[in-house]
Amino acid sequence: MADQAQRDQFIAALTELGGSAGNGRLREILACDEATYVAVKAALIVDGLVTSGRGRGGSVSLAAAADAAVVEAAPAPSREKSARTRSNGSGGNLGFEADLFKAADKLRGNMEPSDYKHVALGLIFLKHISDSFEAKRAELLADYPDGAEDPDEYSAENVFWVPKEARWSHLQANAKQPSIGKMIDEAMIAIEKRNETLKGVLPKDYARPALNAVMLGELIDLISGIALGQEKGEARDVLGRVYEYFLGQFAGSEGKRGGEFYTPRSVVRVMVEMIEPYKGRVYDPCCGSGGMFVQSEKFALEHEGRIGDIAIYGQESNYTTWRLCKMNLAVRGIDADIKWNSEGSFHKDELRDLKADFVLANPPFNISDWGGDRLREDVRWKYGIPPAGNANFAWVQHIVHHLAPAGVAGVVLANGSMSSTQNGEGDIRRALIEGANGAPGVVDCMIALPGQLFYSTQIPVCLWFLARDKSNGIARNAKLRDRRGEILFIDARKLGHMVDRTRKEFSDADIDKITRAYHAWRGEGEAGAYEDVPGFCKSATLEEINGHGYVLTPGRYVGAADVEDDDMPFAERFAALQAKLNGQFAEAEILTATILQKLAGVGANG
């Protein structure tokens, strides 16, 4: 645990070194192990006393020294974001979370990331519910001592009851014991026994021989520094950020398998900010680890809402992923109705009667073995029977079926869904556009995404936005304009930036550009007036879409971006280009001569 003496020692040593030092050097001076060093450093970053820096082994600086260096280097308005809130590409904020994951991953040894994530995330969850319990217990002891042992006092505030033998302080005190794995398992069992909603959720295999007890102890010491000394609300946010960051990092480590339980945060933000779930029922029929729900709650809170303004409903067919989702939402304090069965939403819809105001989903792409041949006469197929060999349009129609009369949805689908005509998919797409069998046309907006956004695939995918009532619809209690007969196309393939060697992410500016175009097109006054932007967005009529054979690929509609006119006369521009080309020809001749000379030398010496 990062106690005050350790913090003071850390600050004193850093001050003696001039306010900045490499992590290796400072740890050597402090004479502490890496887990303790990272825990103390993380606590000081959270307090805003130090900041992480770069360098071969990483560095750390006093916050005041770092700020002074920035001011001296470039006099400018103060930075809006501190070091702990810089954007990263892994679904969290870059700062102490990255240091924690790096240290935790080092403890992993040879264990597969797919196994280790349950070890680490389970302990983070245990730390969270224990901290929340202890904070509530301290309040009760101060104000109402008789209620300190009453479980109802805790459940009233969505706080789990944690038995004494399962509390983090007890586990931390015994972290160096060889039996720590067995003690963690017993803690998880005790918590599930006292909390009905957690039954079957928590990992309970920490005592298995493959898990090194020393590693577990060091991981407990590392996690002990998270949110230390924070107020209850801040602690929940910090632990939630760490859980989210770890989820993203593990998804990246697992590659394609990681994409099965995690949708990248910047993609989720686009979807959430497009449909604006301020208040009402939010549903995801294939909810993974719950990222859509976390971002929906964040959106509501950031727009003067409250936790509880939106009701969360979901279903997941993978039991392990369902457990991750339940823990992810609990860490955030989000109450949700998340169902699990192995048959999935198509064959055993656990929320059959639900009509949702908002649906967000990232279903598995192009699933061929979804059992569609057993569902040929299903009530959900209002727009056409989806092919048995591809579930894409089964997901779309399942989602439309669950929309409330004014509901809206955002769905991630493979690019083929925009243009395929195989097995009747073209007819279903046309029906979704124009309406069929008394059901209205529901396609509101199509977005083409760049490649490399997802862990599970490097190919580009698209976003479908659906509206059950395009003649009206509500956003922030304001009536939207009638959009029947139109669809908005957005080509976002040129947006985004690389965050590592293989993956791309949208910036805040990218997300604002995309969502503002949609909100303006829908008629939301705060977004301003809508205008087509060549190469980026186009409001197309059904007649135009008919002319393209009901293909919904945005590139067909938005056209090419306007080229800025630099007012240079053609003759002058042509002469400049010719001179540049001549120079490149001359350079090529020099390179060719050099290569031939080198090759001749090789031949002579051969």
Confidence of residue 233 (pLDDT cuts 50, 70, 90): low
pLDDT, averaged across the chain: 84
d(C-alpha 563, C-alpha 583), whole Å: 26
Same-domain pairing of 352 and 225: no
pLDDT of residue 90: 41
The pair of structure tokens assigned to 309 is 């303004």
Residue 322 located in a structural domain: yes
pLDDT of residue 476: 61
pLDDT over 70, % of the chain = 85
Residue 165 located in a structural domain: yes
Same-domain pairing of 478 and 544: yes
pLDDT digits (tens, 9 = 90+) for 150-207: 999 998 888 999 999 999 999 999 999 999 999 999 999 999 999 999 999 999 999 9
pLDDT of residue 78: 33
Same-domain pairing of 55 and 120: no
Burial bucket for residue 434 (CB in 10 Å: 0-12, 13-18, 19+): middle
CB distance 319 to 344 below 8 Å: no
More confident residue, 89 or 76: 89
CB distance 413 to 365 below 8 Å: yes
Q: What is the DSSP letter of 533?
A: B
More confident residue, 130 or 302: 130
pLDDT of residue 544: 97
Checking if the pLDDT of 525 tops 70, the result is yes
CA atoms within 13 A on the CB side of 162: 26
Checking if the pLDDT of 357 tops 80, the result is yes
pLDDT digits (tens, 9 = 90+) for 572-583: 668 778 878 887
Angle ∠(443,446,452) on CA atoms, nearest 5: 145
Residue 46 located in a structural domain: yes
Q: How many domains does the chain have?
A: 3
Confidence of residue 56 (pLDDT cuts 50, 70, 90): very low
The domain boundary residue, chosen from 197, 221, 253? 253
pLDDT over 90, % of the chain = 51
Checking if the pLDDT of 128 tops 60, the result is yes
The pair of structure tokens assigned to 115 is 């196994």
Confidence of residue 232 (pLDDT cuts 50, 70, 90): low
Checking if the pLDDT of 587 tops 60, the result is yes
Residue 197 located in a structural domain: yes
d(C-alpha 474, C-alpha 407), whole Å: 9
Same-domain pairing of 247 and 292: no
CB distance 321 to 329 below 8 Å: no
pLDDT of residue 113: 82
CB distance 398 to 346 below 8 Å: yes
| Residue that has been written with the tokens 């910036």 in this structure | 507
More confident residue, 20 or 413: 413
Dihedral over Cα of 249, 254, 256, 258: its sign:
negative
Checking if the pLDDT of 65 tops 50, the result is no
Checking if the pLDDT of 452 tops 70, the result is yes
Same-domain pairing of 162 and 37: no
The domain boundary residue, chosen from 558, 574, 589? 558
pLDDT of residue 355: 97
Residue 564 located in a structural domain: no
CB distance 216 to 175 below 8 Å: yes
CATH of the domain at 25: 1.10.10.10
Ranges 314-328, 465-479, 501-515, 538-552: which has the least confidence: 465-479
d(C-alpha 298, C-alpha 306), whole Å: 9
Confidence of residue 43 (pLDDT cuts 50, 70, 90): confident
- 67 residue type, one letter: D
Same-domain pairing of 236 and 260: no
More confident residue, 180 or 307: 180
More confident residue, 116 or 409: 409
pLDDT of residue 403: 97
pLDDT of residue 391: 96
Ranges 212-221, 317-326, 424-433, 450-459: which has the least confidence: 450-459
pLDDT of residue 515: 97
CATH of the domain at 416: 3.40.50.150
| pTM for this entry | 0.74
Ranges 128-142, 202-216, 450-464: which has the least confidence: 450-464
Checking if the pLDDT of 95 tops 50, the result is yes
Angle ∠(597,598,604) on CA atoms, nearest 5: 90
pLDDT digits (tens, 9 = 90+) for 236-280: 667 777 888 888 788 777 655 545 567 888 999 999 999 999 889
Please state whether 414 falls in left (phi above 0), alpha (psi between -120 and 50) or beta: beta
Same-domain pairing of 140 and 182: yes
- For residue 205, how far is the Cα from the chain centroid? 27
The pair of structure tokens assigned to 559 is 């056209």
Checking if the pLDDT of 541 tops 50, the result is yes
Residue 583 located in a structural domain: no
Same-domain pairing of 316 and 445: yes
Same-domain pairing of 71 and 149: no
The domain boundary residue, chosen from 229, 253, 277? 253
Residue 565 located in a structural domain: no
Confidence of residue 413 (pLDDT cuts 50, 70, 90): very high
pLDDT of residue 276: 93
Same-domain pairing of 222 and 274: no
Same-domain pairing of 292 and 397: yes
DSSP code string of 345-401: HHHS-TTTT--EEEEEE-PPTT-S-S-GGG-TT-TT-TT-PPPTT--HHHHHHHHHH
Residue 510 located in a structural domain: yes
Same-domain pairing of 354 and 216: no
**Residue ranges making up the domain that contains 35:** 4-80
CB neighbour list of residue 597: distance below 8 Å, 6 or more residues apart: none
Q: State the average pLDDT over residues 80-101.
A: 50
pLDDT of residue 577: 83
CB distance 525 to 482 below 8 Å: no
CATH of the domain at 172: 1.20.1260.30
CB distance 281 to 354 below 8 Å: yes
